[in-house]
Structure 1
């Protein structure tokens, strides 16, 4: 009979911690993220209200290489602003404009942004993430991680925490998870 209260306690603990039961990782509102392709660690903002991830870039230009469309840009990140990056273009995203950004003469309710794939390490997890390019230099964080990437990281966000995952700890020869 003494096992029943213990079993009940275990069930209650499992129900009160669904993230543990589902194998998800708890991250804070902000995390250190290694952009493995660029060998650069930046502070990122985790934003469940944004769909896509965004990286701060300027002088964004599309060009052709071996018949494929690529994008060349300069990082708009303190300490890395002289780094020119070239990556294959994954697609063009349509980012919804806010009411204050809408120009009725132009008629577009969205802003087109180039999207590239990057290998990002957050905590111990390495993932391949689609990232759109835009100048975020007016924002505090040069990298925004949206809900699509957060799903890929199997993340649960606790906004009362900051840098809960610590410094990125992915092996340099690790293969990104799915």
Structure 2
């Protein structure tokens, strides 16, 4: 009797596995392959930035300075600036506009805070906000920790949380593999608008 029950259970289990696998395959999108550096466009401003896709980081990060928390109603918000001059690899405008002429200002609700442990330096608490951006022609939303990335090559970093949520594969030896492009605002247009406040 025990043997028969065991075989019946095993048969039921075996017959159910392929069905579950097929259901999962139907729900999953094929992975998208991107380079280790790609252009992203912040949706509120149309600002185009170079972003490094980093499988060693869990949370994405965005260059920000003058980060100031404040209360808005019952919520905790944060204001911050993104100065383009801090990263010299930004493209010039068609009219010769330099990145140093553009400083963008943002306000966002605080999603959470994280404590970053740094080797040889004190731990640092960072604000985390959710932001929409376009990459490879499609719009995504993910968490960004706000930090001064002026000494790094790229103003934005995309971490594993974004990659796993959106089924992204990274080709570590190539950059700018995205076939689809995102519409963006030129430096000339951003400079004409002055400081751009995205609420």
Q: TM class, shorter-chain normalised?
A: 0.7 to 0.9
Task: Report the secondary structure of 1:149's partner residue.
Answer: helix
Deviations 1:82-134 (A, max 9, x none): 22211111110122322x224xxxxxxx4210011101211023111100100
Alignment of 1:49-64 (within 5 A): 49-64=56-71
CA distance in 2, matches of 1:116, 1:36: 14
Alpha carbons of 1:91 and 1:43: their partners in 2 closer, same or farther (altered >3 Å)? same
CA distance in 2, matches of 1:124, 1:70: 29
Task: Give the equivalent residue in structure 2 for 1:13.
Answer: none
| Unpaired segments ≥5 residues, structure 1 | 1-20, 103-109, 171-178
Task: Give the equivalent residue in structure 1 for 2:136.
Answer: 123
CA distance in 2, matches of 1:32, 1:82: 19
Contact 2:40 2:182 in 1 (8 A): no
Among residues 58, 61, 66, which one is paired with 2:73 in the alignment? 66
> TM-score normalized by structure 1?
0.73
Among residues 72, 85, 90, which one is paired with 2:106 in the alignment? 85
Deviations 1:137-178 (A, max 9, x none): 1111000111111112210000111100156337xxxxxxxx
CA distance in 1, matches of 2:162, 2:128: 13
CA distance in 2, matches of 1:168, 1:58: 28
CA distance in 1, matches of 2:80, 2:127: 10
Contact 1:74 1:81 in 2 (8 A): no
Larger of the two Rg values belongs to structure:
2
Among residues 144, 149, 156, which one is paired with 1:143 in the alignment? 156
CA distance in 2, matches of 1:81, 1:55: 16
Task: Report the secondary structure of 1:49's partner residue.
Answer: coil
CA distance in 2, matches of 1:49, 1:115: 18
| Unpaired segments ≥5 residues, structure 2 | 1-27, 86-98, 184-199
| Aligned positions, number | 143
CA distance in 1, matches of 2:181, 2:108: 23
